[in-house]
Structure formats: C-alpha cells, structure tokens
C-alpha cells in the first residue's frame, strides 16, 4: 500500500506527544488572536512574493512574536537549505518547509502525501539527524495550512527504513544518485509502492501520523494556539498544579494588607505600609485599642485563622455545587450574602461550629453541612472578636486587580474579598478552560505555605518532589512488609499483586498489613508530604487490587485521584446517584483509615499544624458523602459525613528536643495504660464522645502520668526534695490554690495535702504569700521537668506504643509453657516504642551562623557541630524514631556530602544506615522562591554497619538544566548531562571524610593519581582571602580624596578571577587596617578615612559585637589574614573558590583578595610548576570527584586544596617539571602582552606533561577527558 497520511485529532496528537499537555487547559488566547490577525494581514500584503521572501518577511516574524528563535534559510551540507528552523540553545529542534498556495502540486495534503514538500523534509531530517538528536517536530505549511509531524514519526517511518537509508547513502556518495532531484525521485518511487516504513510488529499503526490546522478557520483556533506554542514545540511544558498562582496570591496579599519583601535571600511577608487603610492595620488597631498585643505576629495569626476558614468554605461550596448539578442557589460565600463581619462570625461560630440540632437562628446558612467543629471553634490566639471589625472598612483595589473595580476608587473590604474570590474557580465550574483561574487544594497548599512562612521564608515543596519521594520509599516498604510477613520474594508491586491474587482469602490480613505502616513528617509544614503519602497509599491499594470496589482504572496525578468507572466514564459523585455513592463512601473510608493509621506529623509552628490538618481535611472533603442520601423531608439540609479529629496525628512541638529517650522504659501498669491511651485516641479521632474537652483532658492525663512516672525515676533525689517543699507549703497554707494547678504540675498537686482535719484560714496577706510560695514550687518543678519546648516522641503517639501481648499470643505462650517449652514464647514488650516505617520531609534549612539561638538545646545531639545547618539534626532524629530497616528520606541542601560542618552528620549516616538513593539536582532549582541547590536522599536504618554496599547516585550535570533534565533523572531515563552511578560505599573507611561519588573506572584513575601524588600542601601554606565585614565600609572605587599617609592603608583589591594563569587589572581598593599595621584606637590623624567611616560607624560597632570581637576598633577588618600572602615580591598562587573550571593564577605583585579567593604560598615547590599543575585537566578531574561541587560549580576551599596529591619531584621527572615551568612562563608573557591571547595549545601541552607525571595510560587519559 502506498504512503498514506492519518490525521489525528488535536487531543490524540497531543496525547501522543505530551499527555500532560493534552490534559492542560488553554489560557491567554486574546493576545494570540491579535497576532494571527496581524500575520494574515501581512500575508495578504506579501502574497505576491516568493516562498523565501514570505518566510523571511512574514512567517519568521510571526513565530518570533510567539517567542521562538527562528533562522530562515538554515544551511545544511550539500545544497540543503531548510526554509525555516526553530532553534533552542543554538540547536535546531523544529524544521519548517513552506510552499506558496500557487505551488499546490508540491504541497502536502491528505490526498497528496507523496509530494516534494515531504521529500524535502525527509532529506532535511536525515541530514540534521546525523549530528542532532534533539529534533522535535517537522512542519509543512502553505502559510495558511500547517501539517505537523513528530520527529519520532519521521524516525520510525523514514530514518529506520532500509530503502530510504540506502538512497540517502547513495546521494552522499554520489555513486548512483547525482543530486537532490534524483533523491526526491527515488523517494517518490519508494513511497508509492508497498510502503509501511519500519513497522514490524506495529500492525495497527501503518500510516504516517500527524495533525493539521488552518489559521483561517476559527474552529482550529485553540488547536493552532496550542501547537504554535514554545512550551509544546520545544517540549518545555510541565504540568504543576501546585504552582502558586501569582494573580491570585499577590492580589490576596494586597487585600489582606500585606506584601512580600526579600531579605538575605529569603522572601518574607510584612504589613504593606504603602496602603493607608488595610485589613492588617485595621486588626492591629482594634487589638491596640482594646489593650491587647498588637504586634505583627498576633495580627498575622488572626489573618491566617480567618483566611483558613474562608478558603476551606470555598472548597465546601465548590463540592456542594459539584454534588448538586451546579445549583447556584447553594453558593453562600458571596458579597451579597456575607455583608458584614457579624454575619461571617455567625457563619463560623453559630452554624459550622454547631451540629444541626444546636443551630438556632437561620440567616440563610443552616442548610450547610456540619463537618467538624474544630476549625470553627475560636482559637486561643483569636483574641480579637470578628464582630468588632468595622463593616465600613474600605481599601483601594490592587493595581492589576482581577475584579472589575476601577483603579483609585475605594471599595468595602468584605465586598472586595468575596468578589475577588469569585473571580477564581475553586473547582465549581462544570468545564472551565481557564487554567490560570483554577484554585485547587494544591494551589491553596502552596499559598498557605507562603503565608505561614512569613517569618522564616518557607517555600512549598513541589509535587514532583513529594510524589517521587513517597513512591520510591513506600513501594520499598510495602514490598519488604509483605515479603517478610508471608515469606514471599516479590521484586515489585506487579509480582506482589500476583501473589495476593493467588491468596485473596487473606484480603483482610493484607489490608491490616497496609494499615500498620507508619509514616511521619517531623517538620510537617503545610502537610504536602502527608497528602502525597495519602495518595501514594491509595495508589498502592489500587495496584495490589485491594480497593474493594468495582472500577476500570485509577491514576494519581498532581495529588488528585483520577478514577475511571466500570462504564469507562470519569468518576464524579452526584447526590442521588447510586453507583457512585458506594465508591464515594469507599474512598472516604479508605482515606480516613490512612490518615488515622498511617500518617503522622509534627511542627514547631502552630499555624503549620493547623494548615497540615486543614490540607488533610480538604483531601477527605473531596470524597465527603451524603448521609441523607435519599429524598426525604430533611433533604434540604446537606448532611455530609463528618470529618475526624486529625489533630491527634498532627501535633505541635519542637521535634528536635526530647527529654525521654526512645528506648527509656515506661513504668507501672504499662499494658493497661497503653491500651486505655490507644482507645481514647481512637475514640477522639472518630468523634466518639459527649464532651470533647473532657476527652482531650483524659488523653493528656494519660500522657502526663507516663511522663511523670519516667521523671520520678530519673530525678528521684530532686523530686524528694521538691516533695519536702510541698509538705512545708501544706503546713503553712493547706491546699490553697491547689486546684488552680494545671495537669503539668500533677506532682505538686499530689504532694500538697491538708495536715489535720481543717485547712488553715488565710487572710489576704497570707494568700499573697501562698501565691508566691506556690510560684516558687512551680519554678523548682520546671527546673526538673523543663518541658516548655520539648516534644516527647516516646509517648506522643499511642499507635507507636506496644500495648503488650494479644489474646492469641498469651494463649500461645500458655500452651507452650504447659508443654514445658519456654523457648518458643512471645516476648512481652509492653510500652516499647515501635518506630515509624518511613520518616520523610523537607526540613528547614537554617545555618547556625544565621540563627544561633535556634540551636539552643540541640548541642547535645550527636549531629551537632559548628557551622552546621539545622536540617542535619532531622536526619539524626529520623534514625532515632524510625524502626530498624525503616527508611529516612529528605530533600535538603546538597553540600552536606563535602561540607566541613556536616562531618558529624556524614558519620552518623555512615554508621547508622545504608545509603539507598541520592539524586543531586545540580544547578536545577527545585523551589521557585529559593535559589537553593538540593538533593533527595534516602537512607535505610540498620542496627549494624555494613562492610560495603552499592548505592544509586544520580546528578544533573547541565549548566542550563531544564524540567526535562529533572523529569528524566527522577525516571532514571537517559538524557544529556544526566549522570548515573552505582558507586561502592565502604562506611568505616569513609568516616571523617567528605563523601564523593565516582564509578569504578573513575575510581581506578583517582586511585592512580593518589598513588603517584604523595605530597600535599600544608595548613600554613594556604589562606583564605580577607573578610572585611561590612564589605561596603572597606571597599572603595575612588581613592583621589585620600592623603599620602592614608594611602598606606589602601590596597588594590580583587574579588574574583577572570581567567587561568594571568591576573587582569582591578578597579577596586580595600582599606586594610588591623592591629598589625595600626596601633591607635581612633582615626583622628587620618581625617579623610575618619570621614569615610563615619556613616558606617554604628553598624560596624554592632558587627564587632555580633562577631564577638568588641575590643577591635570599628575601622579594623574582621579577618585580615597574614599579609605575607598579599604583598609585592612574594610569589603567590590565587584560586577562585566558586568556578566552572578550576582557576589558578600566578603573581609576584601586590594582590589583596576577598574571601572568594584562596592563596597558596610554599617554598617546597616551584610556584610556576604548581600553577601549571593545578590548572591541568587532571587536577580538575580530581577536584570534581574528590573535592567539593555545588550545583555545577567547583567549590575550591582550603580542604580540597590541602587534599590535592602532588607528585614527588625526582631526577627522572625533573625535565617534565622544567618543561611545565617553561610553558607557564610562555603563557604569562603572552597574556601580559594581550590578556585575550589564546594559549589553549600551550595549556594542552601542559595537560599531556601532567599525565606523564602521574604515569597515566591512554585509557586513563580518555576517562579524564571523557572520551
């Protein structure tokens, strides 16, 4: 059959290219419409011109206007010339062949596929394909109609066809085909015969597939916009439903009276002082007028709690609309219904906080479901009454408001807020095509994280991170759990599913096994990791066939469940729809079970805990179902299943500080206490109580009893002394004020008692004394217990405690004892901490140097050392609270592998775990709001250190990484500049050393370099550059105002190096003053310097105190270093700390440098020889794998310099060394005449000589040069 064209629908075509793009929603069409209209108008003006001219004057400018980098008449070898090429990073990615409408016989169409336009495209493709694997698409156009083909289609159809390849080779050799015309004729013959490309085994896909659109056809408009889009054609599109919507976020900040500021690389939130009237200022004023704290933190806590409620209600509103065929009568959060703060307070506290029977006056909201009162009970921090706010408060609209308000005209706050929210789709629209207007739970999560991090500059962990980490770890844990429990050997979930299907009579046991998996995020933030873990657990139930209801397919995308029913339809729950009601109940019940049994989180920030709980509530809300399902008299009230009390699993506290050890024994009636504790928490979670406050007190009392028992043993002497003090109090004051003591002071309560029949009568003076005495007792108590900032992992989660032997185990033990068998007995481990299966998260990244107070109380931890980051402690904590064989996985900064301040962390990891997986993102920034280079790390806790093992290590090595690099490295797919290694780890040999990774071949070369380089630089031969602190006070650009005497203290100053070997001139100068060159404590004799320093005097004095050198005069440098490294006449080598390639320069001139440089000075080697050696490819290779890398930059600090192996100079290699010195001299001389002179040939000769110095063979050299 001759060549045929199979036109695909846009949806089919997009799905074949990028499924996410196919499912994305079109936005911003108007601008494209205008550009198309201009294009068609220009085409009409130029239609008389030839193809080449129209391409250059009309088509290329049109595509440039759409953001493409175009090149008309792109030259290839031979006489080939692509009409138009679209390039990215100087590489052709899209080929375009154009024909005028007059040239219809050569133009491609469904009726005329075997045409010259296609023949030309095939040739251009074959030629470009020889050295370019980045081709994405081929376009054929008559300037109105466009036919689009995937490059992969050309590959499978033409490139892999033997006859076409033979014809192409013949053209290149010119043996049978003399020119392109002959080649096209030969192609026409091949395509007109029985042609199926290279389609063996592809029986149902034998036509050339592509898609088509016409710019004159309005029906093709959305399709043409979607195709002529950089994100699509250059494959740049990545769906991220979690991305913060800037139009929503920034206007919402404005409405709340807030704004973002950037400080020290962090984005923080503060009150917007540019707004004369604002919501934030209004709250602060109300607090102040009522003599209550009105600081920013108090104001923000009110904004966050009220906003949480409102946005949660927007999602409830969206659900009610979905469930009820988009009945607009169910909309209740509108400016016409919420007209005052008192109505909003009524909605919160009189409707949603109360069960149906307790609701009194109906102001139009009593139809709303009662879900759970917790969110709508007044928070203890909610000291400003919502009713007290002024309904008349007016603010100015945002400059680029999404509403229809006019700029400069004030509008009522409440009206503006609810009208603004109505501009966005919270999932209520039936078929919204405006993706930029969609605000789903993930987008809200990103916004909550930003608002909540107003002080620390928190950033939201994107879905591609949370989903990947949960999937990688949970699948390992599930496989291990099932294989261990049933003695199976399943390698993946697919093989595990087969085992389960063969043993489905044990379904309940399988589900119990999944229920027993415990997952914890110890820095839970907005709860995104727990949401991803929830969805991954659902995916695992699906993959193992354990969901328990009928359906066709289930997928998790962007933290959303996409379920296809048995009928092949997208699952959507509607009221009064029987089949989907059953599924909705099943999904809600499963989610609730996972949240109750599997998910746990802790955070020091109460707002974070509230938001994490809210996120999990929202996940449940998606599958909330009607209780009044059938039509009845009560059907106007929308009774939905209530939501559980999630606060039992998401707790507030400082994860890093605990006074009870994980292995500390619990005392007294442990089994009974634990079982009662577990029942109380189960009942609380499910709402099985009459009095919620009493239930919370009962739970806290059990925990306090466990804690007190522990401390009574641990601090026996101190408590005996405190008991005596309590006895003295009782004798003097009886049991006065005893009942006012909180549960925390139970020890004091138990030891204050009335001696005799009657309590003493206390007058006012005695009562005052009693109060003071009681406070003294409390202070003494707190010195012992000191529990104000702790989080006791040992007892905080009842499900993590062993409740003793089960009835079955007790029965088994009794039977064994009766038989006289005392070996095969279950051990009673009542009260033992069971440990989590998975500890996961994105801990805070805060360096000790930036916030020393944060590290108070953590210096006793085994991960502590100077110059560390707080997240290191979370790894140590992870190993404490995870069970043996459990997994600890975090995303954090990637420099821990080589950072000096992370030595203790590395040792803990090496001794206590096995590294499973490291994914280094290099220069790819995972977080939109933070320029932080990160790594995913996955460890398995072990009770003994293994001798050696292999790990999976992956790194993005591209200087300009894209989302494609990220996606492929997470999928472990081959892609340019992605590195995959399986290095061997020998833990005990790596202690106290940086962790570097290389494959076996690279490791062999590194070992050989070390064998031949036995000498190293010494500590006193290397120094860092100068640290002025504060830089702007000491660095000058103009020195004309200073006297000759003052110029003694002003030095030429360098902050970086431009190239290897040679120093280029600098225009900066440094005031270099220290105790070594200036003995006065004032600048009276140096008036111009004194005048210069005057504006900085106060800040410099504070800096001296901050850096603990208050004795230094303010005008002295913070760290001046030894001046011998800088002065003229002394030979010195200077190296750049951060550089793309190791950069070393040689000089004898004055050279004072900043902290961004290191200085080398030694008499043990010829300094020019060292300059040549250190600039060589061999040393660059060494530093790449044995030094420090940050992103895609070398980080050459003191430690890497001291570890460079230098060969011993002997008679046998002296000539090589002399030749290197000569070549370095030549380079320096040439650069002195012209700093831009190309010395690459001389540098290449040095490289060859260095290889000889280390005795490397050709294969080893090729490894270094990556050949």
What pLDDT, in 10s, does the model give residues 878-917?
Answer: 999 999 999 999 999 999 999 989 999 999 999 999 999 9
Helical residues (DSSP H) of 746-785, grouped into ranges:
746-751, 764-785
CA 1214-1219-1222 angle, to 5 degrees, is 130
For the chain, how long is the longest CA-to-CA vector? 123
Q: Please indicate, yes or no, if residue 340 is contained in any of the structural domains.
A: yes
Are 1013 and 1032 part of one and the same domain?
A: no
Number of independent structural domains in the chain:
6
pLDDT tens-digit series, residues 1163-1205: 999 999 999 999 999 999 999 999 998 878 899 999 999 999 9
pLDDT tens-digit series, residues 724-755: 999 999 989 988 889 888 877 888 998 998 76
- Mean per-residue pLDDT for 804-810? 84
pLDDT tens-digit series, residues 90-111: 789 999 999 998 889 999 999 9
CATH number of the CATH domain containing 887: 3.40.50.150
- Mean per-residue pLDDT for 771-797? 85
Tokens, residue 529: 């990791």
Question: How far is it, in rounded angstroms, from Cα 1118 to Cα 1141?
Answer: 30
- Mean per-residue pLDDT for 205-229? 87
Q: What's CA 1041's distance to the chain center, in Å?
A: 50
- Mean per-residue pLDDT for 489-501? 95
How much of the chain is in helix, strand and coil states, percent to nearest 5? 45, 15, 40
Q: Are 922 and 958 in contact (CB under 8 A)?
A: yes
Burial class (CB in 10 A: 0-12, 13-18, 19+), 101: exposed
Q: Is the pLDDT reported for residue 141 higher than 60?
A: yes
DSSP secondary structure, 320-362, as one string: HHHHTTT-GGG---STTT--SHHHHHIIIIIIITS-GGG--S-
Question: How far is it, in rounded angstroms, from Cα 927 to Cα 794?
Answer: 34
CB atoms within 10 A of CB 1077: 12
Are 445 and 301 part of one and the same domain?
A: yes
Q: Please indicate, yes or no, if residue 762 is contained in any of the structural domains.
A: no
Q: 563: pLDDT confidence band, cut at 50, 70 and 90?
A: very high
Task: Return the top range by mean pLDDT from 810-824, 938-952, 1110-1124.
Answer: 938-952
Are 495 and 635 part of one and the same domain?
A: yes
Q: Is the pLDDT reported for residue 1109 higher than 90?
A: no
What pLDDT is recorded for position 434?
Answer: 44
Q: Are 375 and 382 in contact (CB under 8 A)?
A: no
Q: Please indicate, yes or no, if residue 781 is contained in any of the structural domains.
A: no
What pLDDT is recorded for position 238?
Answer: 61
Question: How far is it, in rounded angstroms, from Cα 144 to Cα 133?
Answer: 29
Question: How far is it, in rounded angstroms, from Cα 207 to Cα 2?
Answer: 9
Q: Domain end: 619, 652, 685, which one?
A: 652
Question: How far is it, in rounded angstroms, from Cα 259 to Cα 614?
Answer: 24
Beta bridge partners of 91: 88
Beta-carbon contacts of residue 292 (< 8 Å; ≥ 6 apart): 298, 383, 384
Q: Are 806 and 674 in contact (CB under 8 A)?
A: no
Are 1052 and 911 part of one and the same domain?
A: no
pLDDT tens-digit series, residues 573-629: 887 666 789 999 999 999 999 999 999 999 998 888 988 999 999 999 999 999 876
pTM beyond 0.85 = no
Q: Is the pLDDT reported for residue 432 higher than 50?
A: no
Are 1186 and 1263 part of one and the same domain?
A: yes
What pLDDT is recorded for position 811?
Answer: 86
Q: Is the pLDDT reported for residue 204 higher than 50?
A: no
Q: 200: pLDDT confidence band, cut at 50, 70 and 90?
A: very low
Helical residues (DSSP H) of 1151-1191, grouped into ranges:
1167-1174, 1177-1186
CA neighbor of 1253 nearest in space, from 1218, 1221, 1213: 1213
Are 480 and 439 part of one and the same domain?
A: no
Are 1009 and 1029 part of one and the same domain?
A: no
What pLDDT is recorded for position 1215?
Answer: 96
Q: Please indicate, yes or no, if residue 408 is contained in any of the structural domains.
A: yes
CA 484-488-489 angle, to 5 degrees, is 100
Q: Is the pLDDT reported for residue 176 higher than 60?
A: no
Supply the mean pLDDT for the chain. Answer: 89
What pLDDT is recorded for position 433?
Answer: 43
Phi, psi of 69 (to 5 degrees): -95, 110
Q: Please indicate, yes or no, if residue 364 is contained in any of the structural domains.
A: yes
Burial class (CB in 10 A: 0-12, 13-18, 19+), 191: buried
CB atoms within 10 A of CB 859: 10
Question: How far is it, in rounded angstroms, from Cα 1127 to Cα 1048?
Answer: 13
The 8 Å CB, 24+ separation contacts for 33-37 are 33/221, 35/62, 35/65, 35/66, 36/215, 36/221, 36/224
Q: Please indicate, yes or no, if residue 682 is contained in any of the structural domains.
A: no
Task: Return the top range by mean pLDDT from 17-31, 563-577, 1010-1024.
Answer: 1010-1024
Question: How far is it, in rounded angstroms, from Cα 1226 to Cα 1231?
Answer: 9
Q: Domain end: 652, 680, 714, which one?
A: 652
Tokens, residue 581: 């009601």
Question: How far is it, in rounded angstroms, from Cα 248 to Cα 238?
Answer: 20
- Mean per-residue pLDDT for 660-672? 81
Are 985 and 1057 part of one and the same domain?
A: no
Q: Please indicate, yes or no, if residue 1157 is contained in any of the structural domains.
A: no
Q: Domain end: 595, 623, 652, which one?
A: 652
More reliable by pLDDT, 708 or 384: 384
CA neighbor of 267 nearest in space, from 448, 454, 449, 443: 454
Which of helix, strand or coil describes residue 1156?
A: coil
Beta-carbon contacts of residue 1079 (< 8 Å; ≥ 6 apart): none
What pLDDT is recorded for position 934?
Answer: 94
Domain, as residue range, for 197: 5-233
Question: How far is it, in rounded angstroms, from Cα 724 to Cα 720?
Answer: 6
Q: Is the pLDDT reported for residue 447 higher than 50?
A: yes
Are 989 and 1113 part of one and the same domain?
A: no
What pLDDT is recorded for position 431?
Answer: 45
Are 33 and 138 part of one and the same domain?
A: yes
Are 1258 and 1118 part of one and the same domain?
A: no
- Mean per-residue pLDDT for 260-275? 83
Task: Return the top range by mean pLDDT from 484-488, 931-935, 1029-1033.
Answer: 484-488
Question: How far is it, in rounded angstroms, from Cα 533 to Cα 528?
Answer: 9
* 913-925: strand order across its sheet: 650-652, 599-603, 519-521, 836-841, 882-893, 933-941, 913-925, 952-956, 978-981
CA 1042-1045-1050 angle, to 5 degrees, is 60
Q: Decide the pairing of beta strands 952-956 and 978-981.
A: antiparallel
CB atoms within 10 A of CB 1156: 15
Q: 693: pLDDT confidence band, cut at 50, 70 and 90?
A: confident
Q: 201: pLDDT confidence band, cut at 50, 70 and 90?
A: very low
| Mean pLDDT lowest among 264-273, 455-464, 971-980, 1040-1049 | 455-464
Q: Is the pLDDT reported for residue 706 higher than 60?
A: yes
What pLDDT is recorded for position 194?
Answer: 63
Q: Please indicate, yes or no, if residue 715 is contained in any of the structural domains.
A: no
- Mean per-residue pLDDT for 508-512? 95
Are 1201 and 1089 part of one and the same domain?
A: no
- Mean per-residue pLDDT for 182-186? 90
For tokens 């609309």, the residue is 321
Beta bridge partners of 268: 261
* 1152-1153: strand order across its sheet: 1035-1036, 1068-1071, 1050-1054, 1152-1153
């Amino acid at each position: 059959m001759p060549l045929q064209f199979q036109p695909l629908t846009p949806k089919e075509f997009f799905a074949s290219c990028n499924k996410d793009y196919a499912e994305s929603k079109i936005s911003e069409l108007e601008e494209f419409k205008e550009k198309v209209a201009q294009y068609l108008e220009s085409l009409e003006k130029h239609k008389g011109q030839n193809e080449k001219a129209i391409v250059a004057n009309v088509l290329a400018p049109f595509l440039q206007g759409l953001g493409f980098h175009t090149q008309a008449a792109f030259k290839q070898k031979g006489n080939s010339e692509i009409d138009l090429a679209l390039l990215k990073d100087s590489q052709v990615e899209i080929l375009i062949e154009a024909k005028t409408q007059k040239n219809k016989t050569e133009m491609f169409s469904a009726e005329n596929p075997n045409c010259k336009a296609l023949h030309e495209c095939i040739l251009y493709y074959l030629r470009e394909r020889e050295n370019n694997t980045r081709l994405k698409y081929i376009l054929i156009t008559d300037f109105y109609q466009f036919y689009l083909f995937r490059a992969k289609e050309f590959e499978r159809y033409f490139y892999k066809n033997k006859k076409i390849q033979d014809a192409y080779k013949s053209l290149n050799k010119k043996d049978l085909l003399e020119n392109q015309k002959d080649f096209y004729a030969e192609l026409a013959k091949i395509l007109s015969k029985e042609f199926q490309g290279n389609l063996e085994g592809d029986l149902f896909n034998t036509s050339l597939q592509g898609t088509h659109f016409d710019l004159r056809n309005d029906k093709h408009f959305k399709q043409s916009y979607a195709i002529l889009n950089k994100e699509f054609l250059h494959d740049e599109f990545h769906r991220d439903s979690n991305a913060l919507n800037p139009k929503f976020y920034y206007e919402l900040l404005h409405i709340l009276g807030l704004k973002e500021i950037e400080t020290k690389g962090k984005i923080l939130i503060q009150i917007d002082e540019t707004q004369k009237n604002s919501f934030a200022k209004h709250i602060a004023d109300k607090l102040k007028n009522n003599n209550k704290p009105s600081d920013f933190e108090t104001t923000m806590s009110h904004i966050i709690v009220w906003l949480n409620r409102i946005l949660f209600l927007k999602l409830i509103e969206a659900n009610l609309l979905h469930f009820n065929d988009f009945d607009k009568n169910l909309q209740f959060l509108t400016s016409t219904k919420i007209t005052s703060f008192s109505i909003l307070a009524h909605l919160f506290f009189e409707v949603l906080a109360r069960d149906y029977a307790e609701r009194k006056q109906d102001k139009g909201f009593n139809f709303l479901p009662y879900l759970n009162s917790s969110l709508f009970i007044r928070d203890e921090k909610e000291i400003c009454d919502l009713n007290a706010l002024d309904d008349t408060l007016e603010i100015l609209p945002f400059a680029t408001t999404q509403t229809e308000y006019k700029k400069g005209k004030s509008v009522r706050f409440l009206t503006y807020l609810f009208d603004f929210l109505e501009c966005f789709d919270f999932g209520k629209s039936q078929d919204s095509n405006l993706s930029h207007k969609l605000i789903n739970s993930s987008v809200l999560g990103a916004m909550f994280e930003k608002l909540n991090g107003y002080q620390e500059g928190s950033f939201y962990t994107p879905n591609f991170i949370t989903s990947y980490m949960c999937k990688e770890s949970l699948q390992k844990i599930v496989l291990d759990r099932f294989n261990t429990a049933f003695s199976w050997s399943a390698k993946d979930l697919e093989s595990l599913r087969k085992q389960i299907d063969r043993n489905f009579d044990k379904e309940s046991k399988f589900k119990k096994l999944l229920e027993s998996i415990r997952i914890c995020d110890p820095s839970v933030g907005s709860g995104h990791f727990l949401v991803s873990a929830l969805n991954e657990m659902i995916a695992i139930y699906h993959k193992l066939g354990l969901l328990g209801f009928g359906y066709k397919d289930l997928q998790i995308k962007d933290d959303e469940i996409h379920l296809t029913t048995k009928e092949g339809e997208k699952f959507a729950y509607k009221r009064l729809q029987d089949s989907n009601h059953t599924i909705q109940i099943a999904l809600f019940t499963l989610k609730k079970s996972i949240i109750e049994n599997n998910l746990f989180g802790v955070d020091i920030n109460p707002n974070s805990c509230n938001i994490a709980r809210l996120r999990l509530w929202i996940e449940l809300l998606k599958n909330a179902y009607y209780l009044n399902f059938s039509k009845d008299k009560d059907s106007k009230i929308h009774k939905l299943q209530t939501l559980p009390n999630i606060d039992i699993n998401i707790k507030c506290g400082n994860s890093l500080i605990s006074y009870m050890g994980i292995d500390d024994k619990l005392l007294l009636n442990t089994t009974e206490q634990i079982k009662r504790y577990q029942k109380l928490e189960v009942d609380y979670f499910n709402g099985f109580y009459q009095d919620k406050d009493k239930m919370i007190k009962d739970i806290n009392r059990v925990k306090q009893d466990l804690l007190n028992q522990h401390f009574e043993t641990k601090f026996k002497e101190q408590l005996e002394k405190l008991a005596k003090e309590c006895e003295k109090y009782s004798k003097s004051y009886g049991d006065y004020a005893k009942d006012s003591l909180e549960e925390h002071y139970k020890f004091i309560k138990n030891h204050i008692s009335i001696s005799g029949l009657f309590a003493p009568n206390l007058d006012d003076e005695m009562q005052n004394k009693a109060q003071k005495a009681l406070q003294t007792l409390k202070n003494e108590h707190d010195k012992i217990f000191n529990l104000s900032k702790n989080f006791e992992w040992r007892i905080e989660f009842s499900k993590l405690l062993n409740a003793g032997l089960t009835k079955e185990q007790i029965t088994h033990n009794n039977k064994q004892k009766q038989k006289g068998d005392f070996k095969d007995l279950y051990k009673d481990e009542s009260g033992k901490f069971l440990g989590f299966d998975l500890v996961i998260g994105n801990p805070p990244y805060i360096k000790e140097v930036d916030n020393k107070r944060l590290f108070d109380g953590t210096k006793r931890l085994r991960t502590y050392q100077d110059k560390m980051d707080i997240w290191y402690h979370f790894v140590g904590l992870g190993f404490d609270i995870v069970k043996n064989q459990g997994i600890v996985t975090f995303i954090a900064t990637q420099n821990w592998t080589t950072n000096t301040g992370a030595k203790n962390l590395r040792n803990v990891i090496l001794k206590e775990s096995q590294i499973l997986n490291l994914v280094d993102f290099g220069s790819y920034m995972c977080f939109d709001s933070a320029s932080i280079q990160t790594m995913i790390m996955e460890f398995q806790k072990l009770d003994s250190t293994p001798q050696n093992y292999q790990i999976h290590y992956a790194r993005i090595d591209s200087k300009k990484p894209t989302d494609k690099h990220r996606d492929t490295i997470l999928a472990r797919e081959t892609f340019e500049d992605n590195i995959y290694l399986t290095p061997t780890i020998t833990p005990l040999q790596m202690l106290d050393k940086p962790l570097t990774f290389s494959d076996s071949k690279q490791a062999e070369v590194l070992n050989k370099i070390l064998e031949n380089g036995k000498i190293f630089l010494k500590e006193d031969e290397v120094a860092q550059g100068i640290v002025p602190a504060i830089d702007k006070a000491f660095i000058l650009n103009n020195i004309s105002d200073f006297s000759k005497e003052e110029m003694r203290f002003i030095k030429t100053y360098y902050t970086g190096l431009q190239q290897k070997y040679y120093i280029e001139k600098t225009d900066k100068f440094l005031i270099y003053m220290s105790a070594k060159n200036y003995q006065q404590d004032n600048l009276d004799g140096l008036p111009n310097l004194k005048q210069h320093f005057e504006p900085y005097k106060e800040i410099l004095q504070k800096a001296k105190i901050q850096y603990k050198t208050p004795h230094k005069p303010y005008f002295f440098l913070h760290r001046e270093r030894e001046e011998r490294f800088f002065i003229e006449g002394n030979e010195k080598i200077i190296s750049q700390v951060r550089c793309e390639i190791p950069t070393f320069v040689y000089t004898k001139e004055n050279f004072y440098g900043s902290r961004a440089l290191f200085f080398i000075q030694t008499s043990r080697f010829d300094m020019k020889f060292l300059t040549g050696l250190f600039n060589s490819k061999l040393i660059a290779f060494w530093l790449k794998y044995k030094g420090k890398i940050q992103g895609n930059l070398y980080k050459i600090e003191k430690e890497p310099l001291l570890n460079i192996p230098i060969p011993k100079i002997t008679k046998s290699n002296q000539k090589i060394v002399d030749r290197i010195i000569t070549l370095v001299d030549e380079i320096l001389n040439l650069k002195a005449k012209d700093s831009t002179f190309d010395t690459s040939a001389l540098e290449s000769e040095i490289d060859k000589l260095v290889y000889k110095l280390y005795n490397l063979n050709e294969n080893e050299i090729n490894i270094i040069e990556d050949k």
